[in-house]
Amino acid sequence: MKAFISEHLDLIVAQLKSDQLLPEDFQPRIQIDNTKDKAHGDLACNLALMAAKPAGKKPRDLAEIIVQRLQANTDFCQKVSKMEIAGPGFINFFLSQATLTSVVSQVLEDEAFGQSNVGQGEKVQIEFVSANPTGPLHIGHGRGAAVGDCLSRLLEATGWQVTREFYYNDAGAQIDNLALSVQARAKGLGPEDASWPKDGYQGDYIVDVANSFLAGDTVIADDQQVTANADVNDLDAIRRFAVAFLRREQDLDLKAFGVAFDVYYLESSLYQEGLVEAAVKKLIDNGFTYEEGGALWLRTTDFGDDKDRVMRKTDGGYTYFVPDVAYHLNKWQRGFKKVINEQGADHHSTITRVRAGLQALKVDIPEGWPDYVLHQMVTVMRDGEEVKISKRAGSYVTLRDLIDEVGCDATRYFLAARAPSSQLTFDIDLARSQTNDNPVYYIQYAHARLASVARQAEEKGYSWSEKATECLAQLNTDQEQAVLNLLARFPEVVKKAARELEPHQIAQYLRDLAAAMHSWYNANQFLVEDAQVRTARLMLAAATRKVLAKGLDLLGVTAPDSM
C-alpha cells in the first residue's frame, strides 16, 4: 500500500515539475510512514514538508495542491477514503475499509506472506558462535547463537540463500592448554597441585573429559569419530579426543537451542591446505609487510589501523588474525559477496585487522567487506547478584544451564529481543519464573488463544471459507482496525529487521501484535450468532494466528496451540 501511494506521489511530483511548481532537479525521498496515532489516519506523508522550500510555498499550501490532484484520481480514491492535511504540513491518508481488510485474504491465501525477494537468491554466509572447543558454551555464545540464527532466518525470509557457518580453532595454544589440563586431570591432579598446568582449565567438565578418555570412549562430532586410547602420556591423542568431546557437547547444546550449522570450518584446515601460507605470500609480494625485531609485520596502518600488527611471531608461529585473513579470503573465493560475522564485541579489534589484511591482498574485495554484527556483553544475575563469566575459572553460566532452567523458547526470546548493540542483563530468576513476567509467554498465549477459538468454532460447526471476503467489511471495531494495521505491516517489518540486521525488531513487533490481539479478544466475542460478523472475526483470527506463528518462527520460538 505504501508503494501504491508512493507511485502516485511520484506522478504528482512529475506533474508539479512540468507545471514549474517544482524545480526540475528536485529529487525527494518520499517517505510514507505508519502513523502512531489513529487520529492521523493510517499512513502519513511528509512530501509537502520536504518540497516546501524548493517550491517556494508554505508546506500546508503545497499539501493542499497535492491533495487536490490526488483526489482527481478515482483509482486512488478507491483505496484511500480520506485525506487530511495536519500539523506543519503532513498529508494523512485514511485507507478505505476494503484496503484495510484486504490483508486478511492476503495472509490466508499466501503461504509466503511476509517473505520477499530483496536478496534475489544471492548467497550470504553468516558466521556465528565460532566458539573454541575448550569448554561448554556460555551465555555470550548463547546470545551469538540466538542473534545469528535469527539473522539467518530473517535473510532466508527476504530472499537470500543462507549458509550458517561455525569456525573454530582446533590447534592453537588454547587447545594445547586444554590437552594439558585434561592430561593433568587424567593423572588425578587438581588445580591445587604444584604440577597443575599454568592457566589450566579448572572447570569440572575437564574431569568429565578425562574420565571419558580413560574409559576409552568413542565420540562423534563434526563428521569425525575419535576413540580414546586411554594413554595419559599420549598428549596428541588427548588433544584430539578432548576437541571432539567438547565439540560434541557444544553441538548438543546448540541442538537443544534449535540452532544447526551448514558448515563447520576448522582453523587447522587452513594450514593443511596451505591457505595461510598462500595469503602470507601474497601480502609479502604486495609489499605490505616488513621484518622488525625478528618478526614479520603487516602494515595495517595503511588501512586505518592505529598501529602495525605482527603477523609472524619470533617463534615462527602466526598471530591469530593471519589465519583469519586466509579464512575470509576463502569465504570470498567461495563466492560470498555478502558475509556477516556475528561475534562478541570483545573481539571487535579484529575487524580492522581482518579488513586491512583483505585489502592488502589486492583481490578486489570491497573495502567494508565483510559485515559485522557485534553483540555486547551479557551480564547474568542470580539471586540478585552478578554471576561472573569466566571460561578459565569454570564458574560461568552455561547455555545449557539456561536452557534447562528457563527453557529454550524463553532463552531464545530474551537473548534476541534486545538490540545486539546494547548490553543485556539476563536475570535467571526472572526468566525462569513461570509468571507473566516472561514476555515470550504473552506472545505465545495470544497464539494459543486464537488456536483455542479455532478449535471451539469447529466444535460448534462454525465453518467458514477463506473466500468469504465480503464478510470482512464487518471488521470495524477499533481493536480490529488496530490488528489489521499491524498485520499489514508485517512484510515491511521483516524487510527492515533483515536490512538492519536487528532481530529484536521482530520481537518488538510480535509484542505489539499480541497486545492488539489480546485487546481485541477482550473487547469482542468471536463466536457470535451473526454469521457475517463471526466469519469475519474467524478470518481475522486465523490471519493473526498465522502471522504470530510466522514471527515466532523467525525468532526460533515455538507457537503452541495450547498453554
Rule CB under 7 A: which of 285-324 touch RNA? 292-295, 306-307, 309-310, 313-315, 317, 319-320
Q: Shortest gap between Cβ of 270 and RNA (angstroms)?
A: 11
Q: Tell me if 256 contacts RNA by CB under 7 A.
A: no
Q: Is the CA virtual torsion 58, 59, 64, 67 positive or negative?
A: positive
Single-letter residue type at 112 = A
Which of the residues 154 through 213 are near RNA (CB under 7 A)? 169, 172-174
Q: Shortest gap between Cβ of 139 and RNA (angstroms)?
A: 13
What is the rounded end-to-end Cα distance, in angstroms, of the chain?
36
Which of the residues 395 through 414 are near RNA (CB under 7 A)? none
Instruction: Give Cα separations from 259 to 57, 128, 150, 252, 256 (angstroms).
Output: 56, 11, 10, 10, 8
Minimal CA–CA distance to 458: which of 467, 450, 468?
450
Which of the residues 40 through 59 are near RNA (CB under 7 A)? 40-41, 44, 46, 49-50, 53, 59
Between 288 and 526, CB nearer to RNA: 526
230, 278, 374, 533: residue in contact with RNA (rule CB under 7 A)? 374
Q: Shortest gap between Cβ of 176 and RNA (angstroms)?
A: 10
Asked whether the beta carbons of 48 and 91 are under 8 A apart, the reply is yes
473 Cβ partners below 8 Å, 6+ apart?
97, 98, 101, 536
Q: Shortest gap between Cβ of 421 and RNA (angstroms)?
A: 4
Which of the residues 425 through 444 are near RNA (CB under 7 A)? 425, 434, 436-439, 441-442
Q: How far apart are CA 239 and CA 237, in angstroms?
A: 5
Q: Shortest gap between Cβ of 53 and RNA (angstroms)?
A: 5
3, 20, 25, 37: residue in contact with RNA (rule CB under 7 A)? 37
Phi, psi of 338 (to 5 degrees): -125, 125
Q: Tell me if 424 contacts RNA by CB under 7 A.
A: yes
Helix axes 478-499, 531-555, angle to 10 degrees: 20
Between 74 and 436, CB nearer to RNA: 436
95, 209, 451, 543: residue in contact with RNA (rule CB under 7 A)? 451
What is the 8-class DSSP label of residue 500? T
Which residues in 516-540 are b (16+ Cβ under 10 Å) and which e? bbbebbeebebeeeeeebbbbbbbb
- Strand partners of residue 385: 382
Asked whether the beta carbons of 83 and 91 are under 8 A apart, the reply is yes
Q: Shortest gap between Cβ of 374 and RNA (angstroms)?
A: 6
Between 81 and 524, CB nearer to RNA: 524
Q: How far apart are CA 47 and CA 261, in angstroms?
A: 46
Between 339 and 453, CB nearer to RNA: 453
Angle made by CA atoms 211, 214, 215, in degrees to the nearest 5: 85
Q: What is the DSSP string of 310-350?
A: EEE-TTSPBPTHHHHHHHHHHHHHTT-SEEEEEEEGGGTHH
Q: How far apart are CA 148 and CA 125, in angstroms?
A: 11
Which of the residues 207 through 236 are near RNA (CB under 7 A)? none
Q: Tell me if 347 contacts RNA by CB under 7 A.
A: yes
H-type helices in 88-230, by residue range?
97-109, 139-157, 173-186, 204-214
Question: How many residues line the site for RNA (CB under 7 A)?
Answer: 92
Q: Tell me if 485 contacts RNA by CB under 7 A.
A: no
Q: Shortest gap between Cβ of 487 and RNA (angstroms)?
A: 15
Q: Tell me if 128 contacts RNA by CB under 7 A.
A: no
Between 184 and 415, CB nearer to RNA: 415
Between 35 and 227, CB nearer to RNA: 35
350, 469, 477, 558: residue in contact with RNA (rule CB under 7 A)? 350
Between 228 and 488, CB nearer to RNA: 488
Q: How far apart are CA 278 and CA 334, in angstroms?
A: 16
Q: Tell me if 448 contacts RNA by CB under 7 A.
A: yes
- Here the cell at position 50 is 520536504
Binding mask 13-32 for RNA (x = CB under 7 A): ----------------x-x-
* Pairing mode, strands 224-227 and 80-86: unpaired
Between 136 and 213, CB nearer to RNA: 136
Q: Shortest gap between Cβ of 392 and RNA (angstroms)?
A: 10
Q: Tell me if 82 contacts RNA by CB under 7 A.
A: no
Angle made by CA atoms 220, 253, 256, in degrees to the nearest 5: 110
Q: Tell me if 505 contacts RNA by CB under 7 A.
A: yes
Between 412 and 504, CB nearer to RNA: 504
Q: Shortest gap between Cβ of 211 and RNA (angstroms)?
A: 26
Q: Shortest gap between Cβ of 197 and RNA (angstroms)?
A: 14
Q: Shortest gap between Cβ of 257 and RNA (angstroms)?
A: 20
Q: Shortest gap between Cβ of 26 and RNA (angstroms)?
A: 13
Which of the residues 512 through 541 are near RNA (CB under 7 A)? 515, 518-519, 521-527
Query: How many helices and strands, by DSSP H and E, does the chain display?
Result: 20, 17
